């Protein structure tokens, strides 16, 4: 996913947010972009992968573990980023979130696609 942070922001937050949920984070990019609504930003391309066999891990329809963080894990990772940078813009395959409030208001809507028939997880909620 693509993450726009304020100029001068420390991309270390992306890794620390990953540690918080037990995921490995790969970050690329870090180029300056001029956005229409938020002005000059620094854009990162990030991927997260699960480190633990069950915690926040997606499973296929047959129950097999996938090398993917589930919807809940993505949510907690993005929440940790928004805690540090409430005005971050995060673009995922499912949606674009323009700031912490927009994220909290709309992220739940992606649960159907995020936990579709072919993928599930063992989280309690
Ligand atoms: Zn889950």
> Mean pLDDT of successive 10-residue segments in the chain (125 residues)?
94 96 95 86 96 92 91 96 96 93 93 77 84
The predicted model scores a pTM of: 0.92
For residue 55, the CA-to-ligand 1 centroid distance in Å is 8
For residue 90, the CA-to-ligand 1 centroid distance in Å is 20
For residue 116, the CA-to-ligand 1 centroid distance in Å is 12
What DSSP state is assigned to residue 55?
A: T
Distance CA 80, CA 16 (A): 8
- Tokens for 51? 């480190």
Number of H helices, E strands in the chain: 4, 8
For residue 44, the CA-to-ligand 1 centroid distance in Å is 24
Distance CA 121, CA 5 (A): 30
Distance CA 88, CA 35 (A): 12
């Amino acid at each position: 996913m693509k993450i726009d942070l304020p100029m001068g922001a420390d991309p270390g937050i992306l890794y620390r947010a990953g540690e918080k949920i037990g995921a490995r984070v790969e970050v690329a990019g870090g180029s300056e972009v001029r956005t229409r609504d938020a002005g000059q930003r620094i854009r990162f391309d990030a991927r997260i992968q699960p480190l633990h066999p069950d915690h926040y891990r997606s499973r296929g329809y047959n129950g097999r573990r996938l090398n993917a963080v589930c919807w809940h894990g993505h949510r907690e990772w993005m929440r940790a980023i928004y805690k540090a940078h409430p005005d971050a813009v995060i673009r995922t395959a499912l949606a674009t979130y323009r700031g912490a409030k927009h994220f909290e208001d709309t992220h739940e809507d992606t649960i159907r696609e995020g936990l579709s028939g072919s993928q599930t997880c063992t989280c309690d909620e």
